[in-house]
Amino acid sequence: MSETSIRTDEDFEAFYERHWKYVYRLCYTYMKNKEDAEDCTEDVFVKVLTGDFVFTDEIHERKWLTITAINGCKDRLKSYARKNVGSIDDDMMPEIASPETEDLSDVTEAVLRLPEKYKDVIWLYYYEGYQTDEIAVMLGRPPSTVRNQLKDARGMLKKVLGGMPE
């Protein structure tokens, strides 16, 4: 595939149509409500629109969007916590609902409740289909750390979901 750059309104529109659902879904998993997910999604695409990015292929586009969306959501959550605008405790959390369906599986809900470092690797590995080496590069962690976090997260999920003891 050839390189892609966003130079015209048509280029941006095509890029947006290719990726907006993916970015929104990813932002929603972090922000847990429609309004904040929409804001974070918009922030990602504003960066694309105002930047001068050249992507080697659609995989490169998706990886860049993933890192940018995750970092944007984390920054926004940190900002909320610093400002004490609202608690992000589980007790105060709005009902989790997927943007595409109101009924999340028990597994997805358990994944979303994992500590951030485990949620990131589980989500990218199982839901987005990235390999551990790719996740390591995306998150700036050693591959062995990502593999260990996947193992630990699986153990946590097994306990939460009532899996068989080892």
Specify the range with the lowest mean pLDDT, choosing from 48-57, 80-89, 124-133, 146-155.
Answer: 80-89
* Residue where a domain terminates, one of 63, 80, 98: 98
> Is the same domain home to 45 and 78?
yes
- Say how many domains are in the chain: 2
pLDDT tens digits for range 118-148: 988 988 888 888 899 988 888 889 999 999 9
What is the pLDDT at residue 99?
45
Please list the alpha-helical segments (H only) found in the chain: 9-31, 34-50, 58-83, 106-112, 116-122, 132-139, 143-160
Q: Quote the CA–CA distance of 46 and 62 in Å, as a whole number.
A: 16
Shared domain for 37 and 87, answered yes or no, is yes
Q: Both 109 and 94 in a single domain?
A: no
- The pLDDT of residue 85 is 46
User: Which of 98, 129, 146 is the last residue before a domain boundary?
Assistant: 98
Token pair recorded at residue 16: 């947006």
pLDDT of res. 42: 95
Residue of higher predicted confidence among 164 and 145: 145
Range of the domain at 119: 105-166
Query: Given a cut of 60, is residue 49 above it in pLDDT?
Result: yes
What DSSP element (H or E) covers 4? strand 4-5
Same domain, 113 and 41: no
Could you tell me how far CA 7 lies from the centroid of its own chain? 26
3-class secondary-structure state, position 55: strand
